[in-house]
């Protein structure tokens, strides 16, 4: 079934071998195109424009068909290139659905994220406040204008339903576009999109922590509890000069770290990033270096001092093992986070 609604299925109900199947696409990276956008969509007196980059995959598309249009939203990463519409993980769900849906895939660069040349930037060196046009509101307006442009260029009709795709911040845009402009897109696939964003989003770490309790990826309830108790103990140690001195010695931090750990910013940096790298979002079950995935980290936490007693030894061991596999000292990484 190639109808747009048939495509809107849950990824969890799709067999993994189908999700991982390589798309049957043409040879060579797709070309880069540009279309004109207003620099400020909300200032009627402004006539300044810039050139927005976009990429096309029309391998399975047939002009005049009623197949859907997949709109891949750029942002939160390096500038897009032709791989985004053929093999990139940025919108690979859309890429893999092309043979089935016969859709036309269009990937649009986010303003400011991809200044491929001088004309592709909404600002110039002469602007006093060059970032004033960088906002999600302007980006959503860009997408709406691009949609109208694409409809004219490819002769699209109301039968061609638009579906926006994105992950993380681009996923937020994909979802917001559907909510704010239902006339522009028929549906949105917003992956890992924190659409109710806030400054201190503890919920992200709650989800990340839950992964360490999943046996399916090498975690366990004991592993999660050990990581939690270790961080709690580190929090306790940071609250006193004696405790901070212990952390500096235990993790091999530089002399300046003792004073930095007395500040709120330094404590947040160390507790959030400096203790150790705990990858869950980018978990790779096939990696082979120490502390490179959930299973290997849990092995260290449960065997190398991480007994739930909470003196931070497990975190120290993970810190050293994680960067040791990359031929860098654990002290260097931890020190960088708080120095």
**Which of 3-17, 162-176, 250-264 is least confident?**
3-17
Q: What is the pLDDT of residues 84-101, one digit of tens each?
A: 999 888 899 999 999 999
- Residues shown for the chain: 339
Sign of the CA dihedral running 311, 281, 82, 78: negative
Indicate whether 146 pLDDT > 70.
Answer: yes
Indicate whether 20 pLDDT > 50.
Answer: no
CA distance 70 to 68: 6
CA distance 225 to 309: 10
Indicate whether 231 pLDDT > 70.
Answer: yes
CA distance 319 to 324: 8
pTM, two decimals, is: 0.70
CA distance 146 to 143: 5
CA distance 90 to 24: 17
Residue 217: pLDDT band (50, 70, 90) is very high
Indicate whether 312 pLDDT > 60.
Answer: no
CA distance 335 to 24: 47
Long-range contacts of 175-178 (CB under 8 A, 24+ apart): 176/136, 176/140, 177/73, 177/140, 177/143, 177/144
| Cβ 84 vs Cβ 72: under 8 Å | yes
CATH top-level class of 4-191:
alpha beta
CA distance 192 to 204: 10
Indicate whether 220 pLDDT > 80.
Answer: yes
Indicate whether 320 pLDDT > 80.
Answer: no
Residue 27: pLDDT band (50, 70, 90) is low
Q: Of all residues in the chain, what percent carry a pLDDT higher than 90?
A: 55
Mean pLDDT of 8-37: 57
Enter the tokens of residue 161: 């339903």
Mean pLDDT of 178-183: 96
Q: Of all residues in the chain, what percent carry a pLDDT higher than 70?
A: 81
Mean pLDDT of 258-264: 93
Of the two residues 43 and 330, the one the predictor is more confident about is 43
Indicate whether 208 pLDDT > 60.
Answer: yes
Mean pLDDT of 163-187: 96
Q: What is the mean pLDDT of the chain?
A: 82
Q: Where are the domains of the chain?
A: 4-191, 206-338
Mean pLDDT of 284-307: 83
């Amino acid at each position: 079934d190639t109808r747009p609604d048939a495509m809107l299925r849950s990824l969890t109900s799709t067999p993994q071998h189908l999700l991982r199947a390589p798309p049957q696409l043409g040879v060579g990276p797709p070309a880069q195109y540009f279309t004109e956008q207003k620099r400020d969509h909300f200032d009627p007196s402004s006539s300044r424009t810039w050139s927005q980059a976009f990429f096309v995959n029309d391998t399975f598309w047939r002009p005049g068909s009623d197949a859907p249009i997949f709109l891949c939203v750029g942002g939160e990463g390096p500038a897009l290139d032709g791989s985004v519409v053929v093999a990139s993980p940025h919108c690979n769900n859309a890429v893999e659905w092309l043979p089935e849906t016969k859709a036309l895939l269009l990937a649009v660069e986010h303003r400011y994220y991809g200044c491929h040349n001088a004309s592709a930037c909404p600002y110039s060196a002469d602007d006093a406040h060059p970032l004033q046009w960088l906002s999600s509101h302007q980006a959503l307006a860009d997408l709406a204008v691009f949609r109208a442009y694409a409809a004219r260029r490819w002769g699209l009709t109301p039968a061609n339903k638009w579906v926006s795709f994105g992950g993380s911040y681009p996923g937020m845009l994909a979802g917001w576009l559907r909510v704010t402009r239902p006339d522009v897109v028929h549906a949105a696939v917003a992956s890992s999109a924190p659409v109710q964003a806030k400054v201190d989003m503890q919920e992200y770490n709650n989800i990340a922590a839950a992964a360490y309790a999943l046996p399916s990826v090498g975690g366990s309830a004991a592993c999660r509890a050990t990581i939690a108790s270790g961080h709690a103990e580190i929090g306790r140690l940071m609250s006193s000069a004696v405790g901070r001195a212990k952390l500096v010695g235990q993790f091999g931090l530089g002399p300046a770290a003792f004073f930095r750990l007395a500040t709120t910013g330094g404590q947040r940096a160390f507790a959030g990033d400096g203790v150790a790298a705990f990858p869950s979002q980018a978990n790779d079950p096939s990696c082979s270096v120490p502390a490179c995935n959930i299973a290997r980290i849990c092995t260290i936490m449960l065997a190398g001092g991480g007994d739930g007693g909470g003196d931070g030894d497990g975190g120290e061991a993970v810190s050293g093992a994680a960067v040791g596999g990359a031929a860098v000292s654990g002290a260097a990484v931890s020190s960088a986070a708080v120095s």
